[in-house]
Every structure is written in structure tokens, then in C-alpha cells.
Amino acid sequence: MVGIGLIVAPIRVLIFVVQTYPPLIRDGSFRAIATPGSESFNAPLAALIALEAFANIFCFAFGIWLIVLFFRKSRRFPMRYVVLSALSIAIIVADSISIGALGIDSPWDTQGRREFVRSVTNLLVWGPYMFMSKRVENTFVRT
């Protein structure tokens, strides 16, 4: 199950990034929000969008690196897996708090709740398994 989740996660992030950020750039929304003097200028929102994009790209790259560690059976995999799981939760919570602080409606939408529950469940189930399982200990032995 962990292997399937590892492969699916970066694909999900990539789909989200491709569906979310290029349209904002193409239709000029991001430029309007980020350009001082424009009617829609909102520096905090522009910064939040840029940070979200960076966080998603970082998680995508981290996920690809985890796949490499997983298939190499690296002993670094279990801890890095737990770190990414915890980081995902932190990003979701920080994003929700930031959106709420900006006064944007629906800071905790259905998708955000779903991602949060998925991430917490993932960490609660697989986190302890990574550290207590004899199978994990015997599998991830290479440097």
C-alpha cells in the first residue's frame, strides 16, 4: 500500500499544480493580484499563491525522491516518509489559517478537509509502522 501511495501522491500533486496555477497565469488573474496599482492588487494573496505553488512543487519533488529511496530500499526512506507526511499536514493547516487570515470565504473547504483527513490518517497508520515494523527494518537496509 505504501508503494502505491508513493507513486500516486506525486501524480495527484502534479495534476493539482497543472490545473491550478497555469490558468491563473494565462488569464491574468495572478498578474492582477500581484501588480501594485492594479484594481485587484493584493500582496498577501499573491504571496500566498506563490508560497502554495512552491510548497506543492517542493512536495512533488520530495515525493519523487521518496520513490527513489523506496525502490533503492534505502534506510533513509522510513524517516523521510514520515517527514513528508507531517509536512503535508503542516502545509494544509498553514494554508487554511492563511486563507482565513486574509478573510477569504471558505478557508476550510471540502477538498482541504479531505486532504487533511487523508494526510493525518496516512501519518497515524504508516508513521508508527515505519518505526516499529520488523518488515520495514529488514527491507530498508541500504544506504
Per residue in 79-119, pLDDT (tens digit) is: 999 999 999 999 999 988 888 888 887 656 777 788 899 99
Q: How many domains does the chain have?
A: 1
Q: What is the DSSP string of 40-76?
A: T--HHHHHHHHHHHHHHHHHHHHHHHHHHHHHTTBTT
120 contact partners, CB below 8 Å, separation of at least 6: 89
pLDDT digit string (tens) for 38-78? 999 999 999 999 999 999 999 999 999 999 999 999 999 99
Tell me the whole-structure pTM to 2 decimals: 0.88
Q: Which single residue is written with the C-alpha cell 497515524? A: 124
- Residues 110/99, Cβ–Cβ less than 8 Å: no
- Residues 55/91, Cβ–Cβ less than 8 Å: yes
Q: Which domain holds residue 6?
A: 2-139
- Residues 62/84, Cβ–Cβ less than 8 Å: yes
Output 26 or 142, whichever has higher pLDDT.
26
